[in-house]
Amino acid sequence: MKLPAPQRKEPEENVIPLINIVFLLLIFFMVAGTLTPSQPFDIDLPATEKGGEMPRDPLRIYLSGDGRVALADEEVSVEDLESRIAAQLDESPDLPVQIEADGSAQSKVLLDVMDALRDAGVERADLVTRRE
């Protein structure tokens, strides 16, 4: 008696493990990636050879090359800066302050910003640079 040869079935391609891997990679890069806060205008930081640790969640002041000043994400005048920082310091007195000034910013505007910080009660402000 001659039996017919069994028919070979093509194995089904299972794509579920591939989908799982893609989702795991997506989650990994979302968690591992660092997001930088957006700046109100483009700033080219000056370079330095030394650098220290940056505190987490500081109050950032931005100074552009053409003299514009921004506190966090909002553009402000130097005259309004003192009152707004004083209000922030009333809420949290140990709030670290950082100044991100463009390398081509005028030193007079930077000194005006630092005077406003001192008048608002800031004891220490860090000037942010990029490491070369």
pTM greater than 0.85 (yes/no): no
Residue 68 lies in a domain: yes
Residue 14 lies in a domain: no
Q: The domain containing residue 65 runs over which residues?
A: 47-131
pLDDT for position 54: 60
Residue 72 predicted with pLDDT over 90: no
- CATH code of 120's domain: 3.30.420.270
Contact 28, 87 (CB under 8 A): no
Q: Is 29 helix (H, G, I), strand (E, B) or coil?
A: helix
Residue 67 lies in a domain: yes
DSSP assignment string, 64-99: -TTS-EEETTEEE-HHHHHHHHHHHHHH-TT--EEE
pLDDT tens digits, 53-70: 665 678 889 998 888 899
Residue 105 lies in a domain: yes
Total number of domains constituting the chain: 1
pLDDT tens digits, 10-41: 778 888 889 999 999 999 888 887 666 667 77
Residue 127 lies in a domain: yes
Residue 126 lies in a domain: yes
